[in-house]
Amino acid sequence: MLLPGNKKEVTDFAADFARKVQAGQIDSLKMVYPQIEDADSIAVTFVADSLRVDDTDKEGVYNVSYGNGVAVTVRMDGDGRMMVLDSRGLFAYPKEKEQFARKTGALNGDLTDVEKAKRMVIVDLMAEDIYSRYSDKRKNAIVNLGLTITKDIMFMMDEGAGHYTLKNTTDRPIKGSEYTVTWEDSYIGSGIEDTRYRTETGKDIPANGTVKFPFAFTGHAGSSISKITMKELSNEEFMAGYTPVGNEYEAYVKEHGDEVSAAGKKLSDGPYHIQGKLGGKYAVHITLDKGMKQGSYYYDKMGPSARLELKVLDFNPKTGKLILEEHNDKGQVTGTFTGTLSSIGFVGQMTSYQGKIYDFKMTVTE
C-alpha cells in the first residue's frame, strides 16, 4: 500500500529525477539509475500535475508515470533511499536508427529501456554484418553475360552491330552512377595494330535484371568490355537505400549467438590483441594498449618489426564503437579503422590514405 508519506517522497524524487534529465546531469542520474548510461541520449518533459505514482505488487516498488509515454520504476529502501530500477520511453536514439531497428524486428514486444538498449547494441552489430555481406556480394554484383551480334558483316569495310549484356546478380537495383564500364577498342590494318581503352558511366540495372551496352565493329576495328568497376558505397549510403524484410534481427541473433551474448557488456580498457584480414586478403595483428589511448599493428607478411602506430580517436566501452587512426614512422596519418569492438571480435572497415576501403571481421584472441 502506498502510504501518504511515501507517495510524497516518491513524487518529489521523481520530479527531481525528471529535472536532472532535462538538465543533462548524467553523473548525478547514474547514482540512482546506473543503466542510464546505456542510452544514446535521454529526454523527458512533464507537467508537475501529470506526474502519477502507483503501487506495485512488490513492497517498496512504485511505478511513476510522467503522462507523456515516459515511466520509471522506483524502489524505496527501508531507510528511505530510492533507486530507479528501469524505465520506458526515457532512452532516446536517432530517428533513422530507431526506424531501422523497428523495421528489422529488433524492437518487437513490450520492452523496457534497459532491454531496448541491449537490443540497440545488437542492432549496430547487425547493421555492420548486413553491410559486410552486401560489400562482399557487391564485388561481383555485375557479371558480363557476353556479346550478341545483331548485324554481321560480309566485307572488311562493312559495319556491324551488337551488344554486351550485363546482369545484376543482387536483389537490389544498381544505378548507373554506381559503376563504370571499361572498353577495349582495337584496330588492325595496313600493318598497324592499336589498342586503346575508354571508360564510360554505367546504366541503371533493375534488381536481378539486365542491361545492354551496344557497340559497332568492322573487319578492322572492334570493341569489347574489358572491366566492370563498382563504386564503393559507404555504410551510410548503403543503409539509406536498404529496405528491411522484417526478420533480420531474429536471423542475426540465431546465427551469432556468442557475439550477441557479448553485446551490451561493458568492455574493459584493454589491453586487446586482435587478428584477422583486411578485405579478406591482408592478414594483420592489432594490439591496443591498456587505457585504450594507443596501440599498433603489423601485416603478417611484414612481421612485428614493421609495426605501424595506432591512435585511438574514439572508444565507447558500452556500445563498442571504436575508431583508430594509423600513423607511419613520420607521424603522418595513413589510414583509419572504424568499427565495433566486442569481447570476441572487431568488425568494420579500414580506409587507406588512398581512399581504398577494406572490410574486416577480426577476432579478439586474448
Q: What digits encode the pLDDT tens for the residues 301-318?
A: 999 999 999 999 999 887
Closest CA to 294 of 306, 304, 275, 307: 307
- Do 159 and 153 meet the contact criterion of CB atoms below 8 Å apart? yes
Name the percent of the chain lying above pLDDT 70: 96
How much is the pLDDT for 271?
A: 93
Burial class (CB in 10 A: 0-12, 13-18, 19+), 121: buried
Residues of the chain with pLDDT below 70 are: 1-5, 46-48, 258-259, 262-265
Closest CA to 93 of 337, 320, 319: 319
Report d(CA 88, CA 70) in Å as an integer: 6
DSSP H or E run through 255: helix 248-255
Report d(CA 53, CA 77) in Å as an integer: 16
- Do 59 and 67 meet the contact criterion of CB atoms below 8 Å apart? no
Task: Fill in the DSSP letter of residue 176.
Answer: G
Measure Cα distances from 185 to 188, 224, 230, 234, 301 in Å. Answer: 10, 7, 21, 33, 39
Return all residues near 304 (Cβ < 8 A) that are at least 6 apart: 285, 298
- Architecture of the domain made up of 145-230: Sandwich (2.60)
Tell me the CATH class for 265-364: mainly beta
How much is the pLDDT for 46?
A: 66
Per domain, the residue ranges of the chain are 4-92, 145-230, 265-364
- Do 165 and 191 meet the contact criterion of CB atoms below 8 Å apart? no
